[in-house]
Amino acid sequence: MKINGSEIIVECLKEQGVDTVFGYPGGAILNVYDALYKHSDEITHVLTSHEQGAAHAADGYARATGKVGVCFATSGPGATNLVTGIATAYMDSIPVVAITCNVTVPLLGKDSFQEVDIAGVAMPITKHSYIVKDVNKLASTIREAFRIAKEGRPGPVLVDVTKDVTANLAEFKKMEIEAPKRKVIDLTDEDIDKAVSMIKLSKKPFLYVGGGVILSDASKELREFADLVDAPVCDSLMGKGAFSGHDKKYTGMIGMHGTKTSNFGVSECDLLIAIGARFSDRVTGNAKKFARHAKILHIDVDPAEINKNIHTDASIIGDAKEVLTRLNAKLTKQDHTEWIKHIEEYQKKFPMKFNKDSLNGPNIMENIDRITKGEAIIATDVGQHQMWAAQHYKFTNPRTLLTSGGLGTMGYGLGAAIGAKVGVKDKIVINIAGDGCFRMNMNEIATATRYNIPVIEIIFNNHVLGMVRQWQDLFYGKRYSATVLEDQVDFVKVSEGMGAHAVRVTTIEEFNKALEEAIKLNIPCVIECVIQKDDKVFPMVSPGAAISDAFDREDLNKKEAEAKKASK
């Protein structure tokens, strides 16, 4: 059967089970949109307000559903507007296929109108990027793009198609697409046996869990492994929900804004088992002082991560689900009662403290957790609000925190929340934003209202760029350069102008009432929370310091008092 390139693209999407595409049309991609129109009963297209919103929505859809997210954009600025979203997905290993269209083959390389080498631009931020100039290679390229996006360590792939290819005819034969096999090519019995031996010799083991556990759907195996090892469990930002936040063994996040329990515990353990995590600088602090007393066992699907940031004593390369399954089969139940008791003492000694009477980030997050019973999907932008969400919402299940961990993309959360809600319709989906982040992509409120996608946008408005200001306050002598946002923007009026239900709150009682109403209304809602500009995220590790040097407000007050006393 001969069909044109645009129809081939749509048929290939159907082969992959794609039911939703996020995008924005333009001249070069018009043929594809025309083909998509004819299949609107099979593939839903969500028109976002900006191409970056489309990329973030595809990313959020992928994180929440476990499927590949798909976004479309036209040539030139349409394609380049996807770049931040593609880079966000790449840094967090999220499977996204971005399909763009370019000028015709004869116009390539001639600085034609809206021409850009997007395949070249995207090369460093994708697992692979293609430009298709021959319609006969189009179907195989798209199929390969989806395979690459899903297999091994997932990630984004870009396919750029010239406009003449979208119109040219070629033979097309449908294919049955097989699910990618879990990567075990480098997994050996010797590695498993060595890991088991290390675990059995350990008296103070600690588990450090990353996003790879979620990507491999290994939460069940992780719970079994933690029980067999009898070890406390901490996580990275990307690992939230892989291990239940309500489990007694859970000690909270590790790193720059991790709990003292996790940071102190990892600093004292004799065996650190890292699973699907990459030892980012936000986790390790001073790498030379990280887990100095521990042997390190690193489990990861990507061999490039082994010994990249932290030297390991042993490693297992393979899919986390497969590795944990094999380890669990060989492990006998260990007993580390004294070690667990020691960690529990830390938990009692260093609880997360905040004012439960005022409207502040931690209090808002704990009330969201209570009202949603911990069952919501939480998206976040980047900054103080992101850290408060990670610290104070008890994530019990995987794929319930959508956040830009690697790239730290302000403006990510609203698009991601829209994508998640489209993909998982029966869940409450809430985006946590700062006022600075809301300004970045607030136009996506119009996307939510256009399709009546009932996301709840919660803005922590402290009238400053909170996290940057926190650093200026602590490390830059309170010189608040370009971080004050005292202006005339009214977020409630702006949101209402785009068709959302919006309300401003100044007390925790008003917030709880507003959130309960938003859930009941089941329409796009915005809640602006006016909080104090000097609220900070604690605990914190200073740049360049060891995570064992984590400090909180009490430590800071004590240090300031001692300095004041010494200066007299």
Which of the residues are catalytic?
51, 113-114, 163, 467
**CA–CA distance, 272 with 17 (Å, rounded to integer):** 40
**Do the Cβ atoms of 145 and 100 come closer than 8 Å?**
no
Q: Quick one: DSSP state of residue 176?
A: P
To 10 degrees, what angle do helices 508-521 and 361-372 make? 40
Q: Report helix, strand or coil for 51.
A: helix
**CA–CA distance, 243 with 219 (Å, rounded to integer):** 6
Within 10 angstroms of residue 499's Cβ, the number of other Cβ atoms is 15
**Do the Cβ atoms of 263 and 548 come closer than 8 Å?**
yes
H or E stretch at 128: strand 128-132
Give the chain's radius of gyration (CA, Å).
24
For the record, the structure tokens of 348 come out as 């009692």
**CA–CA distance, 517 with 64 (Å, rounded to integer):** 24
Which residues, in sequence order, are CB contacts of 197 under 8 Å at separation 6+?
none
Q: What is the CA angle 372-378-379, rounded to 5?
A: 155
**CA–CA distance, 47 with 344 (Å, rounded to integer):** 50
**CA–CA distance, 235 with 254 (Å, rounded to integer):** 6
